[in-house]
Amino acid sequence: MNNLNEFLHMGGYGAYVWSAYGITFVAMILAVVIPLRQHSSLRQRLIKQFKRKK
Amino acid sequence: MMRFIHQLASPPYFYHFSGKVLPWFLGLFLVFLSYGLYGGLVLAPTDYQQGESYRIIYIHVPAAWMSLFIYMVMAISGAIGLIWHIKLADVVAISSAPIGAMFTLLALVTGSIWGKPMWGTWWEWEARLTSELVLLFLYLGVIALYNAVEDKRTASRAIAILALVGVVNIPIIHYSVEWWNTLHQGPTVTKFDKPSIHLSMLLPLLSMAVAFKVYYGIGLLVRARNELLQRERNTGWVRELLHDE
Amino acid sequence: MSSLSLTKAFVTLLRRDLLLVMRRRSEAVNPVLFFIIVTSLFPFGTSSDTALLQQIAPGIVWVAALLAAMLSLDAIFRSDFEDGSLEQLMLSPHPASVLVLAKVMAHWLVTGVPLLIAAPFMALLYGLPSEALPTLLISLLIGTPVLSLVGSVGVALTVALRQGGVILSLLVLPLYVPVLIFGSGAVELAVQGFSPAANLYMLSAILALAVVFTPWPASAALRLSLS
């Protein structure tokens, strides 16, 4: 790989290669970030419930 | 070692242990991912037949491997939960389903994107593609069934039965490329003699495979912690855990 | 009931289910009617070009058979579930798997066998060469019991659910795909003049596996649904 342009161009297949990697990248990030957020909101909800029960 | 596994089966121990272990998994994932991506996208030579588009292999193949691997983990942990009534096994099973579905979808999508310039078509109704699609439906069925049953203990048993019945699809997918000489590439890595792929391409591929496995561990632990908190929300250990906030 | 031998229990249950169906004969005809309607609709929707129809006939006949089987699956357990007789059945000292097998066989006799009779007519409508007809019949003969067996697991899992029917389709269709592939594949081979033997052997193997390996999950799922 000589330079950045060649790298992005991927011998003409750039659109295919990078969309494949892009979709994968986005999916894998979302699939972890979303449950992490659900985790914090779950914890908040449970804490509120316990406070109320007190 | 056995004592450790025994301890892990206890929900509070698992919750605390997984919390501590997650950052390490993340680090491990990044290490293998970096080498895999650099080795695959930069270092590895161009394929003389397919040009640069073959580089999709570094995500397509690991994703496909994960789709099969995760299903087996889901079926086995489901069976363990079904037979020995171990809560954590049930949790592992249902936590694995969405991750497995994602990898199956990614395998299909990246395969389709790769296939367009190679075979000239976005889709072809042949053995491996069809059975991978069936696998996606199996995952979705598991998720749908789990959500449809109210009592989550019963739901776990139901999906364990379903997953076990669907296990027959796994060998079909794996061997389909050998049984039917159709469009999809023949087996190159898991042949038992020397794999017919060049080392400079094989190593990044294996590194990506390991990275994806570690990623599965991360996703699994995160979702398992959620599921566990939900199921155990009325128990003492959860109360104590959140009381310190 | 415990003085009844296992074979007698099986036969008794089979006869009881068939009797129940006979009393509601009009309902029993529904799957076959559905099959005929679906296969008749396709030429309207696609094209009446004989050559094209001949080509897609094996697939259409098989898909229609599959859908008809799926629609009637509910019947295996639902009415018994709703009036409590399913619970009684599960309480019997006989192994639940055998009882499930009896009900599945009743379903196949009522749904699958009429398809065997209707299918050749539909195939002729599509201009399927008569040399392929025996293959069509044999593939359906071997394949439809598999549809009933595998379907029974899906029904057992969903019989207690509110939206059971919708989820049932999602659960059962992926498992039906291999049967569809081998079944219609066999007929296609026969149409082209090749031997369908390999496909038919695969179908038989699937049938053998299904007979052995589906009653247990089905009865386990029934127990779950009843709990």
Each residue's pLDDT tens digit, B157-184: 999 999 999 998 788 777 776 666 555 5
The pLDDT of B204-233, averaged and rounded, is: 96
Most distant CA pair in chain A, distance: 67
- Counting beta carbons within 10 angstroms of the beta carbon of residue A32, is it exposed (0 to 12), middle (13 to 18) or buried (19 or more)? middle
Residue B162 and residue B74: Cα distance in Å, rounded?
11
Which residue in this structure is represented by tokens 């959620």?
B226
Q: By mean pLDDT, which of B102-106, C49-53, C172-176, C180-184 is the weakest?
A: C49-53
Helix/strand/coil percentages in chain A, nearest 5: 90, 0, 10
Domain boundaries, chain A: 23-54
Q: Nearest CA to C8 among C112, C82, C125, C92?
A: C92
Task: Examine the pLDDT at C1 and tell me if it is beyond 50.
Answer: no
With touching defined as 3+ CB pairs under 8 A, do chains C and B touch?
yes
Q: How confident is the model at residue B98 (pLDDT cuts 50, 70, 90)?
A: very high
Residue among B145, B167, B172, B176 with most chain C CBs within 10 A, to mutate: B145
Please identify every stretch of chain A with a pLDDT value under 50, giving residue numbers as ranges: 1
Q: What gap in Å lies between CA B116 and CA B109, rounded to an integer?
A: 11
Residues spanned by the domain of B213: 21-42+55-185+200-238
| Structure confidence at residue B88 (pLDDT) | 95
Q: How far apart are CA B127 and CA B215, in angstroms?
A: 28
Reported as a single tens digit per residue, the pLDDT across B51-69 is: 788 889 999 999 999 999 9
Structure tokens at C146: 């598999």
Per-residue pLDDT for B100 more than 50?
Answer: yes
**Whether B190 contacts B184, CB under 8 Å:** no
Average pLDDT value for residue range C134-143: 94
Mean pLDDT of chain C: 87
Q: What would the mean pLDDT of B147-155 be, rounded to a whole number?
A: 93
Phi-psi region of A10 (alpha: psi -120 to 50; beta: other; left: phi over 0): left
Put simply, the answer to whether B172 touches C220 (Cβ < 8 Å) is no
Q: Name beta bridge partners: B51.
A: B47
Across the range C6-20, mean pLDDT stands at 87
Q: pLDDT, tens digit, for every residue of C146-201?
A: 999 999 999 999 988 887 888 998 899 888 988 988 898 899 889 888 889 988 99
Nearest to C163 among B135, B148, B164 (CB): B148
Residue B186 has pLDDT above 70, yes or no: no
What's the average model confidence in pLDDT over B71-93? Answer: 96
Tell me whether residues A16 and B226 touch, CB distance under 8 A: no
Q: Do A32 and B219 touch (CB under 8 A)?
A: yes
A9's tokens: 């161009």
When pLDDT is averaged across residues C3-23 and rounded to a whole number, the result is 84
Residues of C in contact with B130 (CB under 8 A): 177, 181
Residues 6+ apart with CB under 8 A from C174: B134, B135, B137, B138, B141, B166, B169
Among candidates A16, A32, A42 on the partner chain, residue whose Cβ is nearest the Cβ of B229: A42
Contact C41, C133 (CB under 8 A): no
Q: What is the pLDDT of residues C65-120, one digit of tens each?
A: 998 888 888 777 888 888 888 888 888 888 888 889 999 999 999 888 999 999 88
Q: B162 to chain C: which residues are within 8 Å by CB? A: 153, 157, 171
Please determine, for residue B46, whether its predicted confidence score (pLDDT) is greater than 50.
yes
pLDDT tens digit sequence for B1-23? 888 888 888 999 999 999 999 99
Residue whose entry in the numeric block shows the structure tokens 């149409």:
C191
- Please report whether residue C203 resides in a domain: yes
Closest residue in A to B245 (Cα) is: A47
Number of domains in chain C: 1
**Straight-line distance from the first to the last Cα atom of chain B, in angstroms, rounded to the nearest whole number:** 33
What is the rounded distance in angstroms from the CA atom of residue B135 to the CA atom of residue C21?
36
d(CA C14, CA C110): 11
Distance CA C133, CA C120 (A): 7
So what's the pLDDT on residue B192? 45
Domain count, chain B: 1
Quote the percentage of chain B above a pLDDT of 70: 91
Alpha helices (H) in B38-126, listed in sequence order? 57-84, 87-119
Structure token digits, residue B72? 């087996």
Does any domain span residue B193? no
Is the pLDDT assigned to residue B195 strictly greater than 80?
no
What is the spatial distance between Cα B136 and Cα B176, in angstroms, rounded to a whole number?
Answer: 16
**Mean pLDDT over all residues of chain A?**
87
Q: Cβ contacts (< 8 Å) between C162 and chain B: which residues?
A: 148
What is chain B's percent helix, strand, coil content, to nearest 5?
80, 0, 20
Judged by CB atoms closer than 8 Å, whether chains meet at A42 and B109 is answered as no
HSE toward the beta carbon, residue B202, CA cutoff 13 A: 9
B147 is a domain residue: yes
Output the pLDDT for position C123.
84
Q: Whole-angstrom Cα distance, residue B53 to residue B39?
A: 15
How much is the pLDDT for B205? 94
pTM of the model: 0.88
Collapse the DSSP code of C95 into the 3-class scheme (helix H, G, I; strand E, B; otherwise coil) and give the result: coil
